[in-house]
Amino acid sequence: MATLSSAVVIASHALGPDHRLTSLQTPACFMAWTGALHLTIVHTDTQDVCLKLCWDTDTAGCEFTKRDKAGSSWESKGRIVSKTKILAERDAQQIVQKAREYRTKRVKDARSEAQKEIDEYRKQKEEEFKKFEKEHSSGNKKAEQDAEKDTEEKLKETKEVGKKSGKKVIDDLLNAVSDVRPVVPNRVEQPT
């Protein structure tokens, strides 16, 4: 909605630099049902009405008329302010659009730079991990090989002992199972 101060600025530009505004008479200021602002500007020296301004927010335009120097006729200035306003809004939209594009570009650049840094850091840490793993896993491989050799040697020894005395061990096991001799433990008294 148009404000009184913006209407005064518009009126000041319409009057030119020679005139000073002293009073504003607003017969229907900010009529809510029409969305219009009507102003009458009074000249300082002559107290004559020198400019009538009608601002219509529905059409985003401004109609104003200006009295000539003789004061006899009203000269219509048309919708000049509306065109100026449209041009200013278009320029403002272009500036805002450029700012948005610049911001979007900076965000994309920042993301790509951050991704590059992340990739470099990841690569560095992977190299450090591989180096650490190589240093520490070589000792483990040697220990695994030594343990495997020991296991194979002990397995061979066990098999050789089994071949040499396997028959005797089987006979001893069968005798122990088949020849049972019950014995009373020492803790229990034996009957006499």
Q: What is the pLDDT of residue 72?
A: 47
Confidence check: pLDDT of 164 > 60: yes
Q: Comparing 123 with 166, which gets the higher pLDDT? A: 123
Average pLDDT, the chain: 70
Q: Note the pLDDT tens digit of each residue in 92-122.
A: 999 999 999 999 999 999 999 999 999 999 9
Q: Note the pLDDT tens digit of each residue in 42-90.
A: 444 554 554 555 555 444 445 555 554 444 444 445 545 567 888 889 9
Residues 6+ apart with CB under 8 A from 22: 42, 44
Q: What is the pLDDT of residue 115?
A: 97
Whole-number Å distance between alpha carbons of 84 and 6: 13
Radius of gyration of the chain (CA): 53
Confidence check: pLDDT of 144 > 50: yes
1-10, 135-144, 180-189: least confident range: 1-10
Residues 6+ apart with CB under 8 A from 35: 1, 56, 57, 58
Residue found by looking up tokens 């790509």 in the block:
112
Q: Comparing 29 with 175, which gets the higher pLDDT? A: 175
Each domain of the chain, given as residue ranges in start order, spans 4-78, 89-147
pTM of the model: 0.32
Q: What is the pLDDT of residue 123?
A: 97
Residue found by looking up tokens 């990739």 in the block:
119
Exposed, middle or buried by CB within 10 Å (0-12, 13-18, 19+), for 19? middle
